[in-house]
Copies of this chain bind each other. A is one copy, B any other.
Amino acid sequence: MESKRIADLNVSSRILLGPGPSMVSPRVLRAMATPVLGHLDPQFLTIMEEQQQLLRMVFQTQNELTLSIPGTGSAGMEAALCNFIEPGDQVLVAIMGFFGERLAEMAQRYGALVDRVEKPWGEVFDPVEIEEALKAKTYKLIALVHAETSTGALQPGIAEIAAAAHRHGALLVLDTVTSLGGMPVEIDAWQVDVAYSAAQKSLSCPPGLAPLTVSPRAREVLHKRKTPLTNWYLDLNGLEKYWQPPHAYHHTAPISLHYALREGLRMVEEEGLAARFERHRFNANLLWEGLDALDLPPLVQPRHRLTTLTTPQIPVSIDDLAVRQRLLEEYNIEIAGGFGPLKGKVWRIGLMGFSSRRENIALLLAALDQILR
């Protein structure tokens, strides 16, 4: 106890251009310094209600059961699956990258009988292929990723996939971790049943909360469960009683992160969804042009690219790790490497939320040019 070895917090100001966390606006950081309220304080209950309202705006939904899971994006993924899966349920997972794999793994842990349809990493499904797979048997649900953070690919045709799922009696669970707040996510128009995201991607808030929305159809499935859910912390039956009246105690909400998410969502509302999506598109185009000029062409075909996350291919002559280390140490820029089959083959460059600014792109391209030349 004598030795005071741990010094004052003193971190570098990183330019976060990886797959998340993205940079957090000073407005949002400041909100976190607000004194803490109790988790059942009437003022805090109002903040939760306002947050729900803002989440409905960004998810483009009227779903009553729209809230934030008190954990990071993976907790949102787990909540979106485990609440709707009972042991022995048939589940279909469409996999085109790392997070599709994670969906399959989690579903299996909860006793689902999982069938997989797969695409090589970097490609996407034709909705018709998914409808074909749905014909194999009666699935309780199909889960897939909208914006694959491991590859930079955007799955198109979500409305068609949802319609196919419903024709075959399945719910659609959609991962919008890397799209929500940066690209259109239209839960009601597309008829998605369960969608989740993460605060630290295109919403540009600190990590620790996972927005989640549940359609009336899925909510009915939830309330008709026959077996109790193993998971206590992520049990939506407990969570909904806290978020909605009677506001019964479930867990102690991470108050400061809720302050931050509320502020970040207000910034989304102020900018407007359409303008925000256009900003992400415009900036992604600048990045793509710059990468092409550096002979670092993105892996994904232009029409299936995320505007929030780009995956340039690394020429074999270039040392992945060494470049990323120089970017971090010499320029304070964080980008990420690839996972699994893409390890060493692509970088992952995020332009999400507050990170999606012209100055960041100009700097990154200049730094890459200097390092690679």
Give chain A's interface residues, CB within 8 Å of chain B. Answer: 1, 4-6, 9, 11-14, 16, 18, 20-21, 23-24, 29-39, 41-44, 47, 50, 53-54, 57, 70-75, 78, 82, 102, 105-106, 109-111, 198, 200, 206-208, 228-234, 250-257, 259-260, 262-263, 265-266, 269-270, 272-273, 328, 334, 336
- Does B39 lie within 8 Å of A255, measured CB to CB? no
- Does A9 lie within 8 Å of B231, measured CB to CB? no
- Does A71 lie within 8 Å of B233, measured CB to CB? yes
- Does B36 lie within 8 Å of A23, measured CB to CB? yes
User: Which single member of B29, B82, B228, B263 contacts A33 (CB below 8 Å)?
Assistant: B29
- Does B74 lie within 8 Å of A251, measured CB to CB? yes
Chain B residue contacts of A35, Cβ below 8 A: 11, 13-14, 23-24, 29
- Does B43 lie within 8 Å of A255, measured CB to CB? no
In whole angstroms, what is the CA distance A362 to B264 when docked?
39
Most buried by B among A78, A106, A206, A250: A206
In whole angstroms, what is the CA distance A334 to B252 when docked?
15
In whole angstroms, what is the CA distance A169 to B11 when docked?
46
In whole angstroms, what is the CA distance A234 to B228 when docked?
19
- Does B72 lie within 8 Å of A251, measured CB to CB? yes
Chain B residue contacts of A6, Cβ below 8 A: 50, 53-54, 262, 265-266, 269
User: Which single member of B72, B73, B206, B233 contacts A74 (CB below 8 Å)?
Assistant: B233
Could you write out 5 A-B pairs with CB less than 8 Å apart? A1-B57, A32-B32, A109-B232, A207-B256, A230-B230
Chain B residue contacts of A229, Cβ below 8 A: 109
| Nearest CB of chain B from residue A260's CB, rounded to whole Å | 7
In whole angstroms, what is the CA distance A362 to B16 when docked?
47
Chain B residue contacts of A71, Cβ below 8 A: 70-71, 75, 233, 251
User: Which single member of B11, B12, B207 contacts A253 (CB below 8 Å)?
Assistant: B207
- Does B72 lie within 8 Å of A72, measured CB to CB? no
User: Which single member of B29, B38, B260 contacts A14 (CB below 8 Å)?
Assistant: B38
Chain B residue contacts of A20, Cβ below 8 A: 252
Chain B residue contacts of A42, Cβ below 8 A: 328
